[in-house]
Structure 1
Amino acid sequence: MHGVKRSRLTAQAAEAKRLKELSKIESYLAIEQDVLSRKRAKDFSDEALGRTTQLLDLNPEFYTIWNYRRTILLSLFPSLSPEEIVSHLTSDLRLTTSYLLVHPKVYWIWNHRKWCLESVPSGPGETQKWREEFWKGELKLIEKMLDADARNFHAWSYRRYVLASLPISRPKSDELKYTQTKIEANFSNFSAWHCRTKVLSAIWQEQSFTEEQVKKAKDKEFELVTQALWTDPGDQSGWLYHRWLVGQEPPLDILQREIKNIQDLHEAEPDSKWCINALAHYTLLLAQQSTTSDDGANKLRNEAKRLYEILEKVDPDRRARYRDMDAMGKGFLDFTMSIASW
């Protein structure tokens, strides 16, 4: 800490610390060797399961051991009652919960959790009740995880998986409200914006929205994202969502309206690279859709070229990229394709 004088270890204390760390390493290597030896010997006993727990406690990123653990459990399940299987799975869910509190972004922990949920015995009566309780518990866990770190993309991805797997589907309008809450708390929450694109697309498709209905729904979204752009024009998240809303072939009136809005923002934030980038992109898109004379389209392309030249000065680290995007509009078309599938 600043202002606190560091105390140097004596030679004796330093040696004691070294020996302690060496002892930990030796202990870990001994457990690792034992577990891997059991794996090679196809030991699928309860004792082997316990040893994997000890090793994962020390290193929850050891995906080979997670695979081995699942193999052990699968070998045990045929001789167990449904209640006993659920007991094992409940223990593993508790185990992964404790790991996620310390390692919230380790893929293997999330993967094992999915496996546990998918391994709950199927059937009517009590087993159906277990399945429903397990899935409800997952939503509560994820909300706690996102309360702790609202931008944890692992938790957001897992949330989409849980929502898609719930025995009783949850209204997508609820998820829209949830994403909006997270976005309004922090406009820089890229994962929440991304989740919102998925939910909206699903609603429009499932409810067979007409083009006019989609347009009206997007107008409301433009209002939301405009708040984000004016609040923090230097954050990429809102700009990516804005580009997704505009799409590949936006109605001309929307494109002209959004260009005007961004020009207003550009006047207030002349050095915002994302603002200039959006103007250049949408100007090229307007040139592509232009129904005026060739001179009108060329004028728009020249304006986009001017904006890209400004970007080269504002953001010199990406100078070559802007030159590529300017060349015949190819770069902007490729990027539009990628954003459309975002």
Structure 2
Amino acid sequence: MHGVQRVRQSAEAVAAKKLREQSKIREYLALTDEVLAKKAAEDWSREALGLTTRLLQINPEFYTVWNYRRNILLRGVFPESSPAEINDFLTDDLSMTTLALKMHPKVYWIWSHRRWCLENVPDGPGTDAEGDINGWRKINWERELFVVDKMLNADSRNFHAWSYRRYVLARMPDARSETAELAYTTRKIEANFSNFSAWHQRSKLLTSLWGSGKLEYSKSKEEEFELVRNAMYTDPNDQSAWIYHRWLMGAGADKEVLEREIAVIQELLDEQSDSKWCMESLVHYKRLLLQKHSSMIDVGKVTNDCRRLLRELRGIDPARQRRYEDIGACSIADHTMF
């Protein structure tokens, strides 16, 4: 690190460190050989389960060992256990993966094993904090939502955690309302406008709420435009809000909405004259005007605007010059070429 004086290690210290590392590697390789040998021998014992625990704590990306662990539980441990004991085993595995996710929050195999654990919790009695009787399934699923909340507090943009959250919400015995989840995404977005995963979750929720009629479409959509405009103005260079804005506009926006949003983006471009996302969005929406509403607009002016913006984009974003050239060469609805 800059400004930190390096401490020169003695030759003896370097050699000792190298020996420790070599010893750890030998131990890991020996443990791997032992686990894989037991797997090949179809050893479903609790001793084998303990060995997989040790190995996965060292290397949680070893998906073959996760698969073996599940087979041990299904074929060796669960058949000789009571439902309460099975629940205890699965609770232990959930705790083990919670610790693993703190160090490795984006390892798919850890999230996958949590799903398997939840799906295999047996029916049975349990007691919640208020003393009411609940099944083990309900208790575990509710606890799981709390865990994923903690994960997203630590890293609100972890797409693995967002995907897992959707999975948990879809399968909870007592379904969380979509409006409550929409409020959750609002909090996450307002805390960090660049949270692409939260925007994505929001689009899924709104599609469902609008489709079911649980949320009034016109009023709600205008509120979404206000939210996404705030994000665009806060950080014009962050792509998350622009992608969401494009989803919100859709492919069939009416002329009034297109012209309104073009004016909003042009106003932002006047303040941020080198904003690539402003220029790209203006080209996209002006092309929609040409394609959908050519009979009601000045085609020559809008076409020239697109040509000018694409020239500017080639200048400020030379790495994508060919892309802008391809856009400019595309035919539009009335066969005009820009």
TM-score interval, smaller chain: over 0.9
* Greater shift in the superposed pair: 8-17 or 99-108: 8-17
Q: Do residues 315 (structure 1) and 321 (structure 2) align?
A: no
CA distance in 2, matches of 1:24, 1:266: 57
Please give the per-residue CA displacement for 1:213-269, whole angstroms capped at 9, x wherever unaligned: 423321110000000000100000000000000001012111111011111111011
- Sequence identity percentage: 53
The Cα shift of 1:208 comes to: 6.9
Please give the per-residue CA displacement for 1:72-121, whole angstroms capped at 9, x wherever unaligned: 11112222211111011001000000100111010000000000000112
Find the counterpart in structure 2 of residue 115 from structure 1: 116
Q: Do residues 192 (structure 1) and 195 (structure 2) align?
A: no
The Cα shift of 1:139 comes to: 0.9
The Cα shift of 1:296 comes to: 3.0
Counterparts of 1:35-46 in structure 2 under 5 Å?
A: 35-46=35-46
Shift of the 114–329 alpha-carbon distance from structure 1 to 2, 3 Å rule, reads: farther
* Greater shift in the superposed pair: 224-233 or 321-330: 321-330
* Greater shift in the superposed pair: 180-189 or 8-17: 8-17
The Cα shift of 1:125 comes to: 5.1
C-alpha root-mean-square deviation of aligned residues, in Å? Answer: 1.7
AA partner of residue 328 (structure 1): C
Find the counterpart in structure 1 of residue 103 from structure 2: 102
Counterparts of 1:70-219 in structure 2 under 5 Å?
A: 70-75=70-75, 76-122=77-123, 129-207=135-213, 213-219=216-222
SS of equivalent residue, structure 1 residue 245:
helix
Find the counterpart in structure 2 of residue 229 from structure 1: 232
Larger helix fraction of residues: 1
Shift of the 279–112 alpha-carbon distance from structure 1 to 2, 3 Å rule, reads: same
CA distance in 2, matches of 1:5, 1:107: 38
SS of equivalent residue, structure 1 residue 143:
helix
Shift of the 307–329 alpha-carbon distance from structure 1 to 2, 3 Å rule, reads: farther
Please give the per-residue CA displacement for 1:168-195, whole angstroms capped at 9, x wherever unaligned: 1111111111101011111111111111
AA partner of residue 292 (structure 2): Q
Shift of the 329–97 alpha-carbon distance from structure 1 to 2, 3 Å rule, reads: farther
* Greater shift in the superposed pair: 6-15 or 32-41: 6-15
Q: Do residues 281 (structure 1) and 284 (structure 2) align?
A: yes
SS of equivalent residue, structure 1 residue 2:
coil
The Cα shift of 1:303 comes to: 1.9
The Cα shift of 1:207 comes to: 2.4
Find the counterpart in structure 2 of residue 10 from structure 1: 10
TM-score, normalising length: structure 1: 0.91
CA distance in 2, matches of 1:260, 1:48: 66
SS of equivalent residue, structure 1 residue 290:
helix
CA distance in 1, matches of 2:164, 2:328: 38
The Cα shift of 1:129 comes to: 1.3
The runs of 5 or more residues in structure 2 that have no matched partner are 127-132, 333-338
Which of structures 1 and 2 has the larger relative contact order (alpha carbons within 8 angstroms, sep 6+)? 1
CA distance in 1, matches of 2:3, 2:287: 55
Contact 1:284 1:329 in 2 (8 A): no
The Cα shift of 1:301 comes to: 2.6
AA partner of residue 115 (structure 2): K
CA distance in 2, matches of 1:154, 1:136: 19
Runs of 4+ in 1 over 4 A off after TM superposition: 124-128
Q: Do residues 49 (structure 1) and 52 (structure 2) align?
A: no
CA distance in 2, matches of 1:23, 1:92: 28
The Cα shift of 1:46 comes to: 0.5
* Greater shift in the superposed pair: 125-134 or 24-33: 125-134
